[in-house]
Amino acid sequence: MFSLKSITDSIQVWLSANLGATGALIAQCVIVILLAIALFAVLGLVLVLMERKVAARMQVRLGPNRVGPWGSMQTAADTLKLIVKEGLTPDGADKFLFNLAPYIVMIVAMLLLAPIAYANNFQIWDINIGVLYVTAVSSLGVIGILMAGWASNNNYSLLGAMRSGAQIVSYELSAGLAILTIVVLTGSLQISEIVQSQADGWWIFKGHIPAIIAFIIFIIAVTAETNRAPFDLAEAESELTAGFHTEYSGMKFALFFLAEYINIFIVCAIGATLFLGGWMPLHIGNWQAFNHIMDYIPSSVWFFGKVFFLIFLIMWFRWTFPRLRVDQLLNLEWKYLLPISLFNLLLVTMIAILGWHF
Amino acid sequence: MFIKDYISDVYKAAKSLLTGMKTTGYYFTHPKEIVTEQYPDNRDTLKMAERFRGEVIMPHDENNEHACTGCTACELACPNATIKVITKFDISPEGKKKKALDTFVYHLELCTMCGLCVEACPTSAIKMGNNFEHSVFDRSKLLKTLNNEGSKIREGVE
């Protein structure tokens, strides 16, 4: 199977030969930072454009089609506009927290890029508690949102932030339990090991119906965690103007917007890693010939293909379902998703102990 | 009983959500359903709907004749005084005086395109046109005379 390991290894060797151990480490950090920022920028542009195009097609419209071929430069033009605009800080706002909040949201999104395996042997930080790290850090994002809502000195912002808090705290449970079902099946929290365990088939196929239920619960819960429709109570245009980022403008608003899309990418990447095999090509048991053909498709193509499929699924939800009321939102979590996922976890544990999975 | 209701709730929810997703999915995969008109670009081929109400027009036939008798029913029907019908008296060859249309004044800037005048007209002399490009630089250009210069009432219209 094609691997980026040779390239990364040769860079490592070249750097340590020329710069010494410390210099090589610093140079590698710089390279990783540049790559992460580049991924951020590209993802922001691509995902916003994709969202607008998907939305248009589902609403029987054309979508952006004026700037560049098929409107492909539209988001670049929007970004340019946002950079040039003034980042206003309201008079009554808590200036320090107000300006800090977008960076906290951004930093959390950036931290989450670390443990994700983008391709075969291509991972920033293969930590042995990768999944735990992701679930722990992703819940820090709500601090940034609460900070933004509180510091804005605006009723709408505070209401949006509080709703977002309630929502993320409750949906984290079922997202965590859905993740746990796969951890139970793999017996490891390390992302690379989870991917390796799917070399003979993805967990969504190997884990029978409980894995599919866990996958559905995971998708619902992460849609809620990223504050997207139908769970976009935190922004709820019709009620709260824009929720926690009502008072933000210019680049500070753009950071929130970008962080939202990066968070979608990250949760979809986690979903793809856990349930759809990450960068692992579609392998079916012992079909050697079939598996071999699938190996010819590069692992990064597999990874991004799966991630974008999940992102499309989440966009499909957004442009189909109406927004839930706050009581319906909490009902769904505490009366339906949580009991079902607890029962499902029990079932998966039984399957794992008895070795019924493939 | 509780468990049964619970499961049926979940089943119905999933079913109705999937029905919605099927509809949007159909639209996503069928670009021919797109209804957007790229207006200034497709100006030459733009087809307005038959019932679109853009302005009041008075059709004239090839002999420069219209069907307006000058009865002022449209003027009375108009809710915001958009129409002013100025009448005159034609002298017929037999020496009889007959009421006829002199000028049909139409204030486009006041018109709400409600179409009540068209409904009120007993001889179908006026109808709603499809043109919607009414922007002008001077408000006085919106004051229109609907009957053509030298036009007269069609023979046989009473």
Q: Say whether both B66 and B14 belong to one domain.
A: no
Q: Say whether both B69 and B18 belong to one domain.
A: no
Percent of chain A clearing pLDDT 90 (strictly above): 0
Structural domain boundaries, residue A343: 86-354
Q: Among A58, A62, A317, whose Cβ lies nearest the Cβ of B27? A: A58
Which residues share a beta bridge with A119?
A122
Q: Say whether both B69 and B139 belong to one domain.
A: yes
Q: Among A58, A61, A340, whose Cβ lies nearest the Cβ of B24? A: A58
Taking residue A171's Cβ as centre, other Cβ atoms within 10 Å add up to 25
Structural domain boundaries, residue B21: 2-33
In a domain, B16, yes or no: yes
Inform me whether the pLDDT recorded for A235 exceeds 80.
no
CA atoms within 13 A on the CB side of B154: 16
Q: Say whether both B26 and B77 belong to one domain.
A: no
Rounded to an integer, what distance in angstroms lies between the CA atom of residue B136 and that of residue B12? 56
* Region A303-315 average pLDDT: 89
In a domain, B47, yes or no: no
In a domain, A239, yes or no: yes
Q: Kindly state whether B25 is in contact with chain A, defined as any CB-CB distance less than 8 angstroms.
A: yes
Minimal Cα–Cα distance from B85 to chain A, Å? 44
Answer whether B34 sits within 8 Å of A57, measured CB to CB. yes
**Whole-number Cα distances in Å, A176 to A16, A270, A341, B144:** 40, 12, 10, 71
Inform me whether the pLDDT recorded for A241 exceeds 80.
no
Report the number of distinct structural domains present in chain A: 1
What is the pLDDT at residue B137? Answer: 92
B72: left (phi over 0), alpha (psi -120 to 50) or beta: left
A93 pLDDT band (50/70/90 cuts)?
confident
Rounded to an integer, what distance in angstroms lies between the CA atom of residue A57 and that of residue A55? 6
pTM, two decimals, is: 0.81
Q: Say whether both B7 and B71 belong to one domain.
A: no
* Region A107-131 average pLDDT: 83
Report the number of distinct structural domains present in chain B: 2
In a domain, A91, yes or no: yes
For B88-103, the pLDDT digits (tens) are: 887 777 777 888 888 8
Inform me whether the pLDDT recorded for A243 exceeds 80.
no
What is the pLDDT at residue A19? Answer: 78
Inform me whether the pLDDT recorded for A1 exceeds 70.
no
Minimal Cα–Cα distance from B136 to chain A, Å? 27
Per-residue pLDDT of chain B (158 residues; tens, 9 = 90+): 788 888 888 889 889 989 988 988 888 888 888 888 888 888 888 888 888 888 888 888 888 888 888 888 888 988 988 888 888 887 777 777 888 888 888 888 888 988 898 998 888 888 888 888 888 898 888 888 888 887 778 777 77
* Region A332-336 average pLDDT: 85
Q: Among A59, A65, A316, whose Cβ lies nearest the Cβ of B21? A: A316
Q: Among A60, A321, A340, whose Cβ lies nearest the Cβ of B34? A: A60
Q: Is the ipTM of this complex over 0.90?
A: no
Cβ distance A168 to A231 under 8 Å?
Answer: no
Mean pLDDT, rounded, of chain A: 83
Answer whether B27 sits within 8 Å of A59, measured CB to CB. yes
Q: Kindly state whether B34 is in contact with chain A, defined as any CB-CB distance less than 8 angstroms.
A: yes
Q: Say whether both B69 and B144 belong to one domain.
A: yes
For A261-297, the pLDDT digits (tens) are: 888 888 888 888 888 887 877 777 777 777 777 777 7
In a domain, A65, yes or no: no
Answer whether A320 sits within 8 Å of B21, measured CB to CB. yes
| Chain A positions in Cβ-Cβ contact with residue B24 (cut-off 8 Å) | 58, 316, 319-320
Rounded to an integer, what distance in angstroms lies between the CA atom of residue A98 and that of residue A147? 7
Inform me whether the pLDDT recorded for A2 exceeds 70.
no
Q: Say whether both B67 and B132 belong to one domain.
A: yes
Chain A interface mutation, best of B27, B28, B33, B36, highest count of A Cβ atoms under 10 Å = B28
In a domain, B82, yes or no: yes
In a domain, A21, yes or no: no
Minimal Cα–Cα distance from B12 to chain A, Å? 13
Q: Say whether both B60 and B13 belong to one domain.
A: no
CA atoms within 13 A on the CB side of A285: 5
Q: Say whether both B64 and B26 belong to one domain.
A: no
**Whole-number Cα distances in Å, A266 to A46, A147, A189, A318:** 14, 22, 17, 17
Q: Among B10, B24, B31, whose Cβ lies nearest the Cβ of A316? A: B24
In a domain, A285, yes or no: yes
What is the pLDDT at residue A358? Answer: 65
Q: Say whether both B27 and B75 belong to one domain.
A: no
- Determine what percent of chain B falls in helix, strand and coil, rounding each to the nearest 5: 30, 20, 50
Burial of A316 (C-beta count, 10 Å sphere; 0-12/13-18/19+) = middle
Rounded to an integer, what distance in angstroms lies between the CA atom of residue A55 and that of residue A315? 8
In a domain, A146, yes or no: yes
| Chain B positions in Cβ-Cβ contact with residue A223 (cut-off 8 Å) | none
Minimal Cα–Cα distance from B20 to chain A, Å? 6
A81 pLDDT band (50/70/90 cuts)?
confident
Interface of A with B (CB under 8 A): 54, 57-62, 65, 316-317, 319-321, 336, 340
The CATH number for B149's domain is 3.30.70.3270
Cβ distance A119 to A300 under 8 Å?
Answer: yes
In a domain, A77, yes or no: no
